[in-house]
Amino acid sequence: MFAALLCTLFFSASAVSARKTTEHLGGTEANFVRLIFAPLLMITVALSFGPVLAGYWNPKVFGLFLLSGAIGFGVGDIALFRAFPLIGSRLTTLIVHCVSVPVAATVEYFWLGTTMTALQILCAVIILGGVAVALAPKENPKLEKQDLIKGIGWGLIAALGQGFGAGVLSRYIYKFAETTEMLPLDGFHAGIIVAVQRMIGGMIFSGIFLLLLRSLLKTYPESPLAGLTRAEGNNNWRKGAPWLLATGLAGPALGVTCYQWALLSNSTGVVLPIVAITPLVVIPMSIALKEEKPTLRSLIGGVIAVGGVVGMVLITQNTG
């Protein structure tokens, strides 16, 4: 469960950095570029393990990992980068990390037959309840109703990508891999190798989508999808590059590596509720960037959510 907690820290840093990135760059461009340099970095690290690569780099599952990455990093993160400038990092992360939990747990129950104990379910509810108490947005007169609706819509799409692509499909691949001839790996090494394969799938999907999107906008410049990119020349790469580097390292590289590591030994219904405290960890980071100040409700919700996480960790360790 340490991997899931570490993943939460990295995802929080990635969310804040991604929000700052969208102030200077188009979301689809930013997502595509970070999915180029992040896997290159992780491949370099993975190659240092030598023969251990054979463990999870197997043609029998490589295509499935590409599909998982295309859904999670491709569809999910393209929607994520669109939601950030519309409703901000706090509400976006709340939607993504909370909605993805019931999505993943429900799909996994019907597809993989995975079950959770009553106490684990109770802890998951406590975690989500704490997050909701802390981050339920008040009426904001500065937030246009149309932007709110669009932002929630894109956030829900991102949640589906997170819950199904990053969670359930990856979990299915691990179960499938158990029936193939694959070398055993420790969690961290396997996490890196799996993350690289998924990032490649996301990179391919995002690159193709960006080309098709720009081609579409040349013919239909007023398309509802226009907000997913910026016109050529409107991207400020000099100001956006540091934030893009930060979100790429914290999210696709380190964060996802820890995420895959966590999923190797736990169901998505256990991992995702812990990762769901990401919006709480975002709060102090956003304060440092002068985005918002915590309210009493945020502090109370944080205590509730952290209590649920502690309970989830203890129960999982005792029953694992």
Task: Evaluate if pTM is beyond 0.95.
Answer: no
pLDDT band at 142 (very low <50, low <70, confident <90, very high): low
Q: Are 253 and 38 in contact (CB under 8 A)?
A: yes
Tens digits of per-residue pLDDT, 242-280? 999 999 999 888 887 787 778 776 776 677 778 778 888
Tens digits of per-residue pLDDT, 220-229? 888 888 888 8
CA-wise closest residue to 251 among 111, 80, 2 = 80
Tens digits of per-residue pLDDT, 278-295? 888 888 888 887 776 667
- The three-point CA angle 282-283-287 to 5° equals 115
Q: DSSP string covering 248-274, please?
A: HIIIIIIIHHHHHHHHTTS-HHHHHHH
> Residue 283's pLDDT is what?
82
Tens digits of per-residue pLDDT, 29-50? 999 999 998 888 887 776 766 5
End-to-end CA distance of the chain: 11
Tens digits of per-residue pLDDT, 168-190? 666 666 666 555 555 455 556 66
Tens digits of per-residue pLDDT, 58-83? 777 788 888 888 998 999 999 999 99
> Residue 194's pLDDT is what?
75
pLDDT band at 166 (very low <50, low <70, confident <90, very high): low
Q: Are 97 and 276 in contact (CB under 8 A)?
A: yes
Q: Are 128 and 46 in contact (CB under 8 A)?
A: no
